[in-house]
Structure formats: structure tokens, C-alpha cells
Amino acid sequence: MVVIQLPALKQRRRFEIEQILSIFDSKAGIYLEIDEKEYPTAFLGFLERLSTVMKNPEVVRDLVYEEILNHEFQENHRKYTEMKEELKNVIISEERANAEKEKAMAREKESHHKIEKQRYEHSRNSLCF
């Protein structure tokens, strides 16, 4: 594995490396259509090596498997994100329902206290006569 810190490179070198990396900016999957005329002659060896590697059936098979796994991972991640969002919405709905239920219980309790207070007052007034 090679790690390149592009900002640390001189402008000319950075441009060359960015040109090489631009080959892989395609969304075409494992196969790339490359017009060799669009790249400097210094890249021809690199481009020929890419072409040679893609003629190896084992490499192509591995790339296809990698593409399938990547697609499955992305699909699973999408499903996970959707389920997480659904769960979040269910929790929010339940919290709102519980809050409303608590408010209703508090109103009922308050109403019950008022009725009890009125009964007490009424019975107290009845005894005074």
C-alpha cells in the first residue's frame, strides 16, 4: 500500500499523480475505457500494466467479487440506515404518546381531586345546617 500526501508534493508532481488517479474516477465498475491519447506518454507503461492485469481471469474474478460485496455492503448499509430512522420515528411516536397519556392522567387526577374537594365542601356545608 502506498500513501501519498498530495499537499506535500510540488505542484508538477501533484498534477502528474492526480492525472494518474483520475483514471480511476470512473463509475464504470471494474472495466475502464481509457483513451491513451488523453494521457502523457509517460503513463503508457502504467496503462499497459493495467490492461495486462485485466487479462488475468483471477484478477477479474476477484474484482467482480469485490464489486458484488461492495454492492451488498452498500445495500445493507442503506437498509440499516432506513431501519435506524424507522426505529427513531417509532421511539419518538411512543414518547409523544406516553407524554400525552401522562398529561391525560394528570388532568384526570386533577379533576378527581376537584370532585373530591367539592364533595368534601358539600358534606361539610351539609353538616353545618
The length of the chain is 129
Planar angle of CA 21, 24, 30, nearest 5 degrees: 155
Write out pLDDT tens, residues 67-78: 899 999 999 999
Residues 6+ apart with CB under 8 A from 9: 17
Whether the CB-CB separation of 59 and 53 falls below 8 Å is answered with: yes
| pLDDT attached to residue 78 | 97
Residues 79 and 51 in one domain: no
Planar angle of CA 7, 8, 10, nearest 5 degrees: 90
In a domain, 96, yes or no: yes
**pLDDT of res. 91:** 97
What pLDDT was estimated at residue 129? 54
Tens digits of residue pLDDT in 11-67: 888 888 887 777 776 666 777 777 788 878 888 888 888 888 888 899 889 989 998
User: Percent of the chain beyond pLDDT 70?
Assistant: 91
Domain shared by 44 and 62, yes or no:
no
Q: Looking at the structure, do residues 64 and 126 belong to the same domain, yes or no? A: yes
- Are 113 and 123 members of one domain? yes
Residue 39 lies in a domain: yes
- Please give the model's pTM, rounded to 2 decimal places: 0.50
Domains held by the chain: number: 2
Task: Give residue 17's pLDDT.
Answer: 80
50 and 63 together in one domain: no
Residue 110 placed within a domain: yes
Residue 70 and residue 46 in one domain: no
